[in-house]
Structure 1
Amino acid sequence: MSSRSFSLMGLWPVILRWRNLILLAVTLALVVSALVAWQMPNVYRSTSIFYPTNPESTDPDRIVEEGGRLALGGRAEDLDRIITIGQSQPVAAIIIKRYNLYEHYEAGKPGTEKADQAVLDEYTDNLSIVHSNRDAIELAFHDTDKVRAANIANTLVQVIDSINQRLTMENRGRIITLYRNRTTFLEKESAQVRDSLEDARQRYGIFGRLGLETESGYESRYLAKELAETETELRRAEGELAAGGGSAARVAGLRRAMRGLTQADGGNIINLENYLAGADLVTALYMRYESLQERLVEAQATYENARLAISSDISSIYVVQKAYPATREAKPVRPLIVLSAMFITFALSVIFITLLELYRNNLTLMKPKVVNRSEQVA
């Protein structure tokens, strides 16, 4: 047997035969859905729009040292990081605790697994944070209280900003400790070298900067002048004494003065022997001290900049629009609920009566056909 063809036009007679029941069902759906829809609480939506900034541009070290400027970062990794932070459970825990959402959502007593999961699910359903087609982030929150919805949205933006800053600056505390330890080490090292330099100057009688190699060295000029003058006077006195004149005492005095200028045991603080013995040591110690001083000044400046950076509060996002209390509800869309209920009821009614008609037709076809006796005799 060939299967019977089916046409949508064939439904119209069926609908006409059952029109009263269909109309009754649709009317009942209208009434019930309207009652339910108008009893549903109004839910308001508050939206905040912001751009993430480039983390490198918000680095305080770069701003202080290089004079950098804040730059908007529409990079995919910046947007993904902000969205991930906004959807994270630590952020949810902060908002739930701050606004006492357990009581607001009537989830139950905090601390129980059922209540915690219920309030988290409700919070997640009410939160929307997406990447817009203009490379901005739209954060929206739904709530039955329009003011609460706006406050939660703005607080979420602040919490996201704070956590994002913490992620980009989480190692600054350790870096500051390293800078402080480096500064302390250089201070101790500089003090030790300074003490060694003072001891060497006292021991060798060298109080200039770099000894004989420096034109401004006091000892070099003093020794050169005194040695030349004393030696000249000694030679003159010895010549006069050899010629039968002069004074032996003067010659002895000049020889003693010459010994004091050239030998360490001669009694002079500044003498050639000590100067030659200690010039290299004093020069090396002074160069070491100068190097440590330069490094110490640089380390102190770096440490101060790092302390300034860790205490700075530079926003990692640029807020274009703060969340404000909504002027009208976002949901429920009551006319849409009523129309949807009526359409679904109508569709289900048509399907039901169609199946019922098909069932009746099948029963009719399956009944045996009764033949009259007169027809059989004929």
Structure 2
Amino acid sequence: MSTPSFSLVGLGPIINRWKYFVAGAVVLAAIVSVIVALLMPNVYRSTAIFIPTNPQTTDPDRLVDGGKLELSGRAEDLDRAITIGESQPVAELVIKKFNLHKHYKAGAPGDDVADNSVLSEFTSNLSIVHNERDAIELTFSDKDKNIAAQIANTLVQVIDSVNQQLTLENRRQVLNLYRQRYEYLSTNYERSRRELVGARHRYGIFGLEMQGRYMVKQLIETEAALRKAEASGGDVAGLKRMLRGLTRADGGNLINLERYVQGADSLSMFTTRVADLQSRLIGARSAYETAELSIKGRISSLYLVQKAYPATRKFKPVRSLIVLGSMLLTFALSVVFIALLELYRHNRPTAVRPA
């Protein structure tokens, strides 16, 4: 005799024979799933949307010089923001700020098991993705809708702060260089200025161009008067003393040709150097003040498109889906079980009776 076969065509009669068992299993699954679904807490999620920028476009030094803020969504800027947001230091900072050890009921901070548990739950509740519009969606889920929104907004602020810190240290070093350059030029300018003042007193030169014209005019007039006096018998001795005073350093005049000639080159060099140092010092002071002002500025490196707000409805669980899914799964498992049982009965070998 051939072994009886089993097919899905006879599944209907089988279910009909076991209908009370199947119905009981489905009802029991429905009751259990309803209880479990009602005991499950509501989970809310809040989303913040922002666009990271190129740090160079928000550099205060560049903005002071006339640069403009530029909106950009470069791949490297997006990757940098996501990397910062998913980093462990940022997670630990937020965990400490909101005391998530207590909130998640994981235990006291400092315990490795508790720390790992909190960090794992925090990471599972956090989602940072790059959407199709070249923006970043930062989503955080929690049982408390207010905490979910607060943590999401805090994460955006932390990402912005860390993004700014990437260039802050270099800017501080640049500021220190500006300060050293300004101090160096200030010292050299003061020393050169004192040397110029000393040279003016030593050579009796207080204005090269005007003083040179004055001396030439006086020399010409005095020499002309001396020639007239010699011709007419005037006061020749007095005019000679005047001429000597104008031309010789020992003539008694503070302003004289000999000292002027001796100090003209030195005074020209000192004046040029002081003027050069003065212009460089003014530029260095302006650069230092600009750098000092810019380093104190806090220009956001993110464009916040949407702030995270407390959710108005829960994200999960979907209780109706849980109940319906559990009922369907129980029904399917029940059908499989009774089908296998019937298959076993039909294929069980029959005992042969003795003749």
Q: Following the alignment from structure 2 to structure 1, what is the Cα–Cα distance between the partners of residues 274 and 141?
A: 66
Instruction: Pick one of 299, 314, 328 that aligns with 2:284.
Output: 299
The alpha carbon displacement at 1:138 in A equals: 1.4
Do 1:53 and 1:70's aligned partners in 2 also have CA atoms closer than 8 Å?
no
Q: Following the alignment from structure 2 to structure 1, what is the Cα–Cα distance between the partners of residues 307 and 151?
A: 11
Instruction: Summarize the alignment of residues 1-378 of structure 1 with structure 2, pairs less than 5 Å apart.
Output: 8-9=8-9, 11-66=11-66, 68-208=67-207, 211=208, 217-240=209-232, 246=233, 250-364=235-349, 369=352, 372=355
Go from structure 1 to structure 2 and tell me whether the alpha carbon gap of 1:48 and 1:4 turns closer, same or farther (over 3 Å shift): farther
Deviations 1:329-370 (A, max 9, x none): 111111111222223323333333444444445542xx6755
Q: Following the alignment from structure 1 to structure 2, what is the Cα–Cα distance between the partners of residues 111 and 335?
A: 40
Go from structure 1 to structure 2 and tell me whether the alpha carbon gap of 1:277 and 1:7 turns closer, same or farther (over 3 Å shift): farther
Deviations 1:12-54 (A, max 9, x none): 4544444433333222222211111110011111112222233
Q: Following the alignment from structure 2 to structure 1, what is the Cα–Cα distance between the partners of residues 94 and 323?
A: 35
Q: Give the letter for the 2:25 counterpart.
A: A
Q: Give the percent of matched residue pairs that are identical in Structure 1 and Structure 2.
A: 59
Do 1:54 and 1:70's aligned partners in 2 also have CA atoms closer than 8 Å?
no
The alpha carbon displacement at 1:261 in A equals: 1.8
Q: Which runs of 5+ in 1 are unaligned?
A: 212-216, 241-245, 373-378
Go from structure 1 to structure 2 and tell me whether the alpha carbon gap of 1:254 and 1:13 turns closer, same or farther (over 3 Å shift): same
SS at structure 2 position matched to 1:169: helix
Q: Following the alignment from structure 2 to structure 1, what is the Cα–Cα distance between the partners of residues 153 and 112?
A: 28
Q: Following the alignment from structure 1 to structure 2, what is the Cα–Cα distance between the partners of residues 69 and 17?
A: 80
Q: Following the alignment from structure 1 to structure 2, what is the Cα–Cα distance between the partners of residues 93 and 42?
A: 25
**TM-score where L is the length of structure 1:** 0.86
Q: Following the alignment from structure 1 to structure 2, what is the Cα–Cα distance between the partners of residues 327 and 26?
A: 34
Q: Give the letter for the 1:43 counterpart.
A: V
Q: Give the letter for the 1:120 counterpart.
A: L
Deviations 1:241-292 (A, max 9, x none): xxxxx15xx3233223222222222222222222122111111111111111
Q: Which runs of 5+ in 2 are unaligned?
A: none
Q: Following the alignment from structure 1 to structure 2, what is the Cα–Cα distance between the partners of residues 277 and 97?
A: 76
Q: Give the letter for the 2:147 counterpart.
A: R
Q: Following the alignment from structure 1 to structure 2, what is the Cα–Cα distance between the partners of residues 115 and 83?
A: 26
Q: Following the alignment from structure 1 to structure 2, what is the Cα–Cα distance between the partners of residues 5 and 273?
A: 136
Q: Following the alignment from structure 1 to structure 2, what is the Cα–Cα distance between the partners of residues 297 and 269?
A: 34
**TM-score where L is the length of structure 2:** 0.91
SS at structure 2 position matched to 1:339: helix
The alpha carbon displacement at 1:101 in A equals: 0.6
The alpha carbon displacement at 1:325 in A equals: 1.5
